[in-house]
Structure 1
Amino acid sequence: MEEGKGALAQSMIDAVHEMASISGYRGTTKRQCGNLARRLRLLTPLFEEIKDSKESMPEGTIGALASLVEALSSANELLGFGTVGSKIYHLVSEREQIMNKYHEVTSQLEQALNGISYKNLQIPDGVKGQVELVLGQLRGAKGGVDSPDVDLNEELLALYNQSSDTAPDRTVLRRLAEELKLMKIKQESLAEKLEIFVLCASGGDPGESIERISMLLKKIKDFVKTENLDMGPPPGKENVLPSSSGSSVDGNKETPVIPDHFRCPISLKLMKDPVVVSTGQTYERSCIEKWLEAGHRTCPRTQQTLSSTTLAPNGVLRILIAQWHEANGIQPPRPPSSSRPTKTISAAFPAKCAKIEQLLRKLGSGNPEEQRSAAGEIRLLAKRNADNRIAIAEAGAIPFLVRLLSTRDSRIQEHAVTALLNLSICYQNKGNIVSSGAVPGIVHVLRNGSMEARENAAATLFSLSAVDEYKVTIGASCAIPPLVLLLDEGTQRGKKDAAAALFNLCIYRGNKGKAVRAGIVPTLMQLLTEPGVGMADEALAVLAILASHTKGRAAIGAAKAVPVLVEIIRVGFPWNKENAAAVLVHLCAGEQHHLSEAKELEIMEPLVDLAQNGTDRGKRKAAQLLERLSRFVEQQQEGSGTGRSRGRGSGTGRNRG
């Protein structure tokens, strides 16, 4: 029974890995295939738990697992078919067949997952949550074709079914030629391109549909031949600009794959502002805010009731996502602005603005009691929603709050810095905060405030340092030493806020030396080696960015980091392995004694594993280290061989003497 369970689990793991390697989906089901593959990858932790489980399993569950293996096999077949053939073939001939298969596979997967008795499997709650998420997505999968292809499909079908002697509509031909990317092909390669369409469409089984597709393509081909190949966009498209997602990708450069844990479970898109809810799950802020504003009080992923609607920034994940952008040479997107260009908040919510103006009068009153209560109210208002943040800034609250940063009343100071933190979530407010001279005041709180005020000051600096020019401003305001101090002596939350701010600031090269001089490296190494601290992710991320600096490299080497880094590469999490390897690459660039130490610690085997199974960046760093180690070993062998030869020669000379 146990062997059967293990074999079934391994079959499912292998099937998901195989599906993960499939890419290049075509035609109207491109979106569905991509979503299905992504959802099934979320089931891998479940299969691994089943494989490692020592608990006995009911016959019904074994049967459900066998059904799931069959369903995964069907999904694999569907995804493989989704990459074969041309777009025109999928549009004209196979759309209905593929969609029927998609619905069938989705239903099969849902039924098999529902048949598993999770109570008897001792599966962690987080894994159960992922399974529930996948089930919910499978239930909600409508399977409709991608909307931009619907009109194209109808036009193709009309031409496909048209008799050969009927003159086609030239406007339709133009649109089809543009959509199928035939208009810009050189004349001599056009025929070859169309023949490839037909060849792919046939799939080795020519028949009536292939003959009719050939006729359809001939009509398009004849049209393209008679047109100027360099003509502009089709009618109605003259003023359409290329879509922009915040970064451009060279046509010859592969778009990097977004790691699954960087995607919001609701939108499945790369997160820009990840926040944690009370169940411990992370979502994109805008997505979970919409969920909560709709009246939901459950976690979308786990369906657990939320004990609080407070959203805490996920600083660790922000660091990792920023590092992923940097490693892949992608400009990080700006956090979404909450501005309303068409009308001001004051025009839309006069009562709210009247309340804020009343609070501002109290802030400027000079009465500590009134200032304390008003700053506390503004702090809470700014925490609630984006409209409040804009209204508070529009009313001119920021200069009042900046002045209160220097007060001796610790509670007023804490309210003021936290209100600025909440206001800074809105991108347009960041500039207002910095231009109001807030940075020196925030640094003052970071040095002298209560522990909560210091933590919130660090979080504010992290938020402001998302803007590149403010990294320079903050670094020049002597913020780095007190951040390093908070990293050393703060609470768990304070350490994370400090690490996040330091990571952002050290992206600017001029701040790296300041951080090293402030003693950041010994503190990071302590966080990395102390058990139960839970700061390994942040510590490694900051070390990886410091290691590119000469002084940072020297400090890391002096901290005897090599054994720690080698052990992380051996047993760490994938993202930590890649950062450890990145640090070692820099350390070993010009220091052969670090290479020698790593070799003595038997790093070769874990490096080979990382090069084969790590993240994309981890594979690259492991390959660089392996190359350097190989050269180092060769040099050692050559030197050793030369030494032995000289030894024998001089010995012979002594005998002759």
Structure 2
Amino acid sequence: MGFGWRRRRSNAGDNGGKKQEGGIGGRRELELQELVIPNHFVCPISLELMRDPVTLSSGITYDRESIERWLEAGNFTCPVTNMVLSSFDQIPNHVLRSMIQEWCTENCRHGVNRIPTPRVPVTPFEVSEVLSGIDDASQCVDHAECAKLVGRIERWGGESERNRRCIIANGAASTLSRAFDAFAAASDYSQIGANLLEEILCALSWMFPLDIDARHYLASRSSLNCLVWFLKNGDTEFKKHAILTLNELSRDEKQTEALAYTEGLRETLVKFIEHPISPTITKASLSVTFNLISSNGCGDEERLAFVEMSLVSKLLEILVDSSDRSVCEKALGVLHGLIGCEQGREKAYANLLTVPILVKKILRVPGTATEFAVLSLWRLCKHESRDHQEMALVEALQVGAFQKLLLLLQIGCADEAKEKATELLKLMNPYRAGLECIESADFKNLKRSF
């Protein structure tokens, strides 16, 4: 019994006078040629050519990746024999791997690529030994030794997903965060110190979500100051690592207060939002800002600080210019948070684009973003000032809010958005007589009629 390896091969056709695309000659027809793979080269689980054959205690050989998935799913038996495994050791079958590689080489003319010799997976003992060394190097502030060991963690992580899982499971995030804190506190951000801190950040970037201990060390004063320094002075790649780390920290209410008191962070976030460097950095900056202004402990203070930096108008510009739905969703979330304070609403009323943009985004962006747009519009139309409330309601009607809200209720939305949409319709209804809906696609020349 064998398994078919299929490839496409082109042969010259009989239409000799016709040109082939990209060259001269007759037309070529694609044919399928089947190559039989020896049965014992095929993994019993994936039914594909084995790249890293390993043998279990049952005596059956599998591809390492396939059998690891089987065992990680909580299975304790051999898939072929159904025997309970006496151990979970996976012994590399070097002889079989050599035979597979030789077969691949012999059939390379048929389009078969030789499988590379797999690296031996890292063991928990090796990881623990390196992490212990990183702790020792951190206590001695030994840059060279720590850089060498962090480099080893990076290499192991780059070799396979299995290695990454093993590294994370053995507490690497906490150890690296502790080292980052130690070297950040002792660093003057010279080239040597900055390079090591960058290496640690790179390694941490694939260990999210971080555990409690890791977040604790990264939320220290020295660590946060270092992350902001990277945002201001690092290249684009390290700016990205730093802002993603801050975004990870901002998800935790305990660390949000520490972020709020980090000097220079707000200004840097606003700068990244106003002058995008990369989509990843822009989205992460908006997420950090949203988490800061939504915090129970410091939300009011943060909202006022961001409003005073003219973030409301910057967000409206993003919503006009950006076609990235994820960016629009995050920008709408931040805008909704900012107009939760009196100063934010005043800035929103003063901008001619606010109401038309909010109405336009309803149903034009994914569910959460539409909900933010409805909730923001409700906040503007429920103002304590009768004049402001009337202006917002009439302008919303003029740009088609009534029809969109009706459609939203028919389609369905979250309970809070449904409640606010219903209330908005009731508030708008008395003003409908004599008002016409205008085209809201172009906001640049839109004028208020008051």
Q: TM-score if structure 1 supplies the norm length?
A: 0.40
Other structure's SS at 1:446 match:
helix
Whole-angstrom distance in 2 between the partners of 1:293 and 1:524: 47
The 5 Å alignment of 1:304-343 reads: none
The 5 Å alignment of 1:502-651 reads: 502-508=289-295, 509=299, 510-534=301-325, 535-559=327-351, 560-569=353-362, 571-590=364-383, 591=388, 592-616=390-414, 617-632=416-431
Whole-angstrom distance in 2 between the partners of 1:506 and 1:381: 39
CA displacement at 1:606 relative to structure 2: 1.0
Q: Which residue is 1:98 aligned to?
A: none
Equivalent residues of 2:133, 2:146 under 8 A apart: no
Other structure's SS at 2:270 match:
helix
Whole-angstrom distance in 1 between the partners of 2:208 and 2:363: 43
> Of residues 251, 254, 258 in structure 2, which corresponds to 1:473?
258
List gaps (5 residues or longer) in structure 2.
Answer: 1-64, 72-122, 158-162, 436-450
Other structure's SS at 1:294 match:
helix
The 5 Å alignment of 1:9-20 reads: none
The 5 Å alignment of 1:411-426 reads: 411-421=195-205, 422=207, 425-426=210-211
Whole-angstrom distance in 1 between the partners of 2:67 and 2:262: 38
CA displacement at 1:418 relative to structure 2: 3.7
Q: Which residue is 1:357 aligned to?
A: 132
Q: Which residue is 1:500 aligned to?
A: 287
The 5 Å alignment of 1:55-454 reads: 294=69, 349-360=124-135, 372-378=147-153, 384-385=164-165, 386-390=168-172, 392-393=174-175, 396-403=178-185, 407-409=189-191, 411-421=195-205, 422=207, 425-435=210-220, 437-454=222-239
Other structure's SS at 1:407 match:
coil
List gaps (5 residues or longer) in structure 1.
Answer: 1-289, 297-347, 637-657
Report the CA distance shift for 1:423/1:633 in structure 2 as closer, same or farther (over 3 A).
closer
Report the CA distance shift for 1:405/1:575 in structure 2 as closer, same or farther (over 3 A).
farther
Report the CA distance shift for 1:424/1:380 in structure 2 as closer, same or farther (over 3 A).
farther
Q: Which has the higher helix share?
A: 1
Q: Which amino acid aligns with 1:485?
A: K
Report the CA distance shift for 1:403/1:435 in structure 2 as closer, same or farther (over 3 A).
closer
CA displacement at 1:408 relative to structure 2: 3.2
CA displacement at 1:586 relative to structure 2: 0.9
CA displacement at 1:375 relative to structure 2: 4.1
Equivalent residues of 2:134, 2:175 under 8 A apart: no
Equivalent residues of 2:290, 2:334 under 8 A apart: yes
Whole-angstrom distance in 1 between the partners of 2:392 and 2:376: 11
CA displacement at 1:585 relative to structure 2: 0.7
Q: Which residue is 1:457 aligned to?
A: 242
CA displacement at 1:364 relative to structure 2: 6.8
Q: Which has the higher strand share?
A: 2
Report the CA distance shift for 1:518/1:572 in structure 2 as closer, same or farther (over 3 A).
same
Equivalent residues of 2:124, 2:170 under 8 A apart: no
CA displacement at 1:492 relative to structure 2: 0.9
Q: Which amino acid aligns with 2:421?
A: A
Equivalent residues of 1:353, 1:395 under 8 A apart: no
Q: Percent identity?
A: 21
CA displacement at 1:392 relative to structure 2: 4.9
Equivalent residues of 1:360, 1:397 under 8 A apart: yes
**CA-to-partner distance for each residue in 1:89-131, whole Å, 9 max, x for gaps?**
xxxxxxxxxxxxxxxxxxxxxxxxxxxxxxxxxxxxxxxxxxx
Other structure's SS at 2:362 match:
helix
CA displacement at 1:396 relative to structure 2: 4.9
CA displacement at 1:395 relative to structure 2: 10
Whole-angstrom distance in 2 between the partners of 1:570 and 1:497: 24
CA displacement at 1:583 relative to structure 2: 0.9
Equivalent residues of 1:362, 1:374 under 8 A apart: no
CA displacement at 1:495 relative to structure 2: 0.8
Whole-angstrom distance in 1 between the partners of 2:215 and 2:68: 25
**CA-to-partner distance for each residue in 1:262-283, whole Å, 9 max, x for gaps?**
xxxxxxxxxxxxxxxxxxxxxx
> Of residues 265, 268, 273 in structure 2, which corresponds to 1:487?
273
Report the CA distance shift for 1:463/1:608 in structure 2 as closer, same or farther (over 3 A).
same
CA displacement at 1:378 relative to structure 2: 4.7
CA displacement at 1:291 relative to structure 2: 9.7
Report the CA distance shift for 1:550/1:620 in structure 2 as closer, same or farther (over 3 A).
same
